[in-house]
Chain A
Amino acid sequence: MTTHALEQPQAPARPAARREPAVEAYDVERIRAEFPILSQRIHGHPLVYLDNAATTQKPRAVIDAVRRYYEEDNANVHRGVHLLSERATRAYEGARVKVARFLGAADPREVIFVRGTTEGINLVAQTFGRQRVGAGDEVLVTALEHHSNIVPWQLLCQEKGATLRVVPITDAGDLDLDALDALLGPRTRLLAVAQVSNALGTVNPVAELVARAHARGVTVLVDGAQGAPHLGFDVQASGADFYAFSGHKLYGPTGIGVLWGRRELLEAMPPWQGGGDMILSVTFEKTTFNDLPYKLEAGTPHISGAVGLGAALDWVAGVGLEAVAAHERALVARAVDALGQVPGIRLVGTPRERAGALSFLLGDVHPHDVGTVLDRQGVAVRAGHHCAQPLMKRYGVAATVRASFAAYNTAAEIEALVRGLHKVREVFG
């Protein structure tokens, strides 16, 4: 029943846009015009969308790809003998090849489609984790992690009688690498670390972390939810063992994401969920499991989501990830400067390198109130603990305001944010 669409894995070529700096000037207005949602007004003001770390908006190309898939190609994958099923299978597997290329993966079979980063991490915890972590072992996370890179490991440790240990950060919001070395011990089985902090924007030195962990024989999972959209990721250059990211934070649809794993690790892992597509043969006595990647993809997958994610990666490659990254770096630097001019602003975390997001407080006004006043000026930010309560506790705050940026944000929008913050000061005197 299952067709092996990936029996001949293609050696993916790296897209040119990642290697070469953009030669053309970055035309942000042209990019904005590709995002239908951005042209609306919110409470009578132009929408200023600065909540990109929560989810990004979608370009026309992605919306159209999903619509076209449903209008022209929709069928179930890997099972029909009919033309539509062939097309759907080709579209779904084509998206897998695009992801492999985006990550510089050696083999598309290392790309497992999941619902998002959270599901990717849970998959590893419940397969690799259950297999390799035992009583008395240790799992390392960091003080910067999102709850989705804490709780799955906590559950695993509780189940196995293992210990969750935490790599601390400096006041600036950078990982304490000396502490990491001290924590990497003979019982450490895994280091789970974010590529980029969702709350502070800290860029972690992933290759360095991987080198230190591997020197002690420790497997490394990288949470790429915030890193993939701003920096991309090269699974081979980084040396990481697992990498997870979400489509919807990278201009793609919600409900689709990726777990990449080194092939020998994925091969050795037991299946996660049982069902259709993940088996070769089933009798009531015994089931023979399918090969990668299908072994880890039970049930009908999110086909249109994968198609949309493929379109999003094409869109990013078309603009050039380096060009987007440079644009975002300039915006973040500008935002740090501009916020510094607003009386009462305190940045939470001043990491050496930052990507995409910054967190701040305004006097003693609660972030939730800041968020409401900004919303009335059309400015969308996140106010809260950013699913990183241990990190908030580290800084002694209950919540922060977070502004986060994407390819389509502009310097004028930073000015709108600053005007909005002055309005907050006016309301709260």
Chain B
Amino acid sequence: MSELTDLYQEVVLDHGKRPRNYGPLPGETQRAEGLNPLCGDHLLIHVRQAGGRVEEIRFEGSGCAISKASASVMTGVVKGRTAAEIDQLFERFHRLVTEGARPEDQEALGKLAVFAGVHDYPTRVKCASLAWHALREALRGGGAPVSTE
């Protein structure tokens, strides 16, 4: 049986409590909302794109430790990437939180690897994915709220 500390690793707890890149983003070019109807989590992702890459990204909102930590870590790792690169990274991330860690993905995932424990908690996969769904919606230029349902 997995331990609670596999899910709530120190890094996750730290990002959940003191999220990085938190707040509004002056000069944003895109934004999208993420809603998790299961628990009422609500994130707003602000993006400033330049030259086809994410130049700056911030987020706001309320949520559980997992959704906030995921948004916080995500905003750190996607800077400088294109939408296509972010889609690829999300695919690996989604595999990580649904199936667990795979050696071949570790390098690409980098800091995101701290969410490996989520796969033992199927009800929390949506929390970990919420920020990603909102970001990808923002990059598609949608702006409509995305829901995990």
B62 within 8 A of A: yes
A398/B40 in contact, CB under 8 A: yes
A residues less than 8 Å from B62 (CB atoms): 398
A residues less than 8 Å from B63 (CB atoms): 366, 398
Closest CB of chain B to A175's CB: distance in Å? 24
Interface SS majority for chain B: mixed
Given A44-B1, A427-B4, are A369 and B38 neighbors across the interface (CB < 8 Å)? no
A399 vs B35: C-alpha distance when bound (angstroms): 13
A392 within 8 A of B: yes
A385/B39 in contact, CB under 8 A: yes
Total A-B Cβ pairs within 8 A: 51
Partner of B38, one of A372, A384, A392: A384
A385 vs B127: C-alpha distance when bound (angstroms): 15
Given A398-B62, A428-B13, A428-B65, are A372 and B123 neighbors across the interface (CB < 8 Å)? yes
Given A384-B38, A384-B40, A399-B39, are A368 and B4 neighbors across the interface (CB < 8 Å)? no
A384 vs B35: C-alpha distance when bound (angstroms): 13
A336 within 8 A of B: no
A366 vs B13: C-alpha distance when bound (angstroms): 12
B residues less than 8 Å from A369 (CB atoms): 8, 64-66
B7 within 8 A of A: yes
A319 within 8 A of B: no
A residues less than 8 Å from B65 (CB atoms): 365-366, 369, 428
Closest residue of chain B to A43, judged by CB? B1
Given A372-B123, A428-B13, are A367 and B39 neighbors across the interface (CB < 8 Å)? yes
B42 within 8 A of A: yes
B residues less than 8 Å from A427 (CB atoms): 4-5, 8, 13
A residues less than 8 Å from B124 (CB atoms): 368, 372
Instruction: Fill in one digit per residue for B3-23: 1 if any A CB lies within 8 Å of its CB, else 0.
Output: 011011000010000000000
Residues of A within 8 A of B (CB): 43-44, 365-369, 372-373, 376, 383-385, 389, 392, 398-399, 423, 427-429
Residues of B within 8 A of A (CB): 1, 4-5, 7-8, 13, 38-42, 62-66, 121, 123-124, 127
